[in-house]
Amino acid sequence: MHADPSGYTYGRPEVPESPVTMSQLDELKQSVLWSAADEAALRRAGAILVPQTEAILDVWYGFVGSHPHLVATFAGKDGAPSMEYLGAVRQRFARWIDDLCNRPYDETWLAYQEEIGRRHHPSGKNRTDRIESTSKHIPLRDLIGFISPITLTIRPFLHNGATSADDAQEMHDAWLKAITLTVALWARPYNDRLW
């Protein structure tokens, strides 16, 4: 595991419980077709992906940086991308890959997904890193839209350690389900009443 980066508060007492119940999480898992086989495949994926974290982040940050509307969410008070902000988030993004693949999806994990969602929402964006930014939230459309590049770009990294094409597909399917599950949880702060 990576050392805890600044602003990474997984499992700490200051992270409140999620309003999402374990029963609701179980229903959401059913909605994304989550299974015990996916959990095992995601653990295998973690063993392959975590050592490649920096290369993965290079791809993802390259994607974000090549789209002005995405990189604008990392703006400083002058409206230009803040290298400090991008760097701080990158360290937590690295840890997120590890957590996604290797943490149990229990109450502690659920609480941290709520915290991540809040950090994308106007109620919490920019506070963790104490950044003065022209961007006050991550648009929900971009949060949901990011499922695609985060999923599609991971396949070559999985192939670097897969034992077969079937193994790579199983890990990729589990990754997609895990990404969809977490983004659904991150979306909750955007509309508590309709979630």
What CATH number does residue 117 fall under?
1.10.490.10
Q: Is residue 64 assigned to a domain?
A: yes
Q: Is residue 6 assigned to a domain?
A: no
* Structural domains in the chain (count): 1
Q: Is residue 173 assigned to a domain?
A: yes
Spell out the alpha helix ranges (H) of the chain.
Answer: 22-31, 36-49, 53-65, 68-71, 83-102, 107-120, 140-145, 147-152, 155-159, 165-186
Q: Is residue 83 assigned to a domain?
A: yes
User: What integer pLDDT is reported at residue 33 of this predicted model?
Assistant: 99
**In 3D, which of 75, 88, 87, 82 has the Cα closest to residue 137?**
75
Query: Mean pLDDT, the chain, as a whole number?
Result: 96
Q: Which amino acid is at 165?
A: A
Q: Is residue 3 assigned to a domain?
A: no
Q: Is residue 10 assigned to a domain?
A: no
CA angle 181, 22, 178 (to 5 degrees): 15
**Average pLDDT of the segment spanning 11-32:** 98
**Average pLDDT of the segment spanning 79-96:** 93
Q: Is residue 77 assigned to a domain?
A: yes
The residue whose two tokens read 């961007």 is 135
| CA distances from residue 136 to 6, 97, 127, 184, 190 in whole angstroms, order as listed | 20, 25, 10, 20, 13
**In 3D, which of 166, 52, 43, 152 has the Cα closest to residue 99?**
43
Q: What residues make up the domain containing 90?
A: 22-29+36-190
User: What integer pLDDT is reported at residue 126 of this predicted model?
Assistant: 87
Instruction: State the virtual CA torsion across 53, 98, 112, 40 in degrees, nearest 10.
Output: 140
**Predicted confidence band of residue 129 (pLDDT cuts 50, 70, 90):** confident
Q: Is residue 91 assigned to a domain?
A: yes
In this prediction the pTM is 0.94
User: What integer pLDDT is reported at residue 4 of this predicted model?
Assistant: 87
Name the residue with higher pLDDT: 130 or 158: 158
User: What integer pLDDT is reported at residue 79 of this predicted model?
Assistant: 93
Rounded Cα distance between 97 and 114, Å, is 16
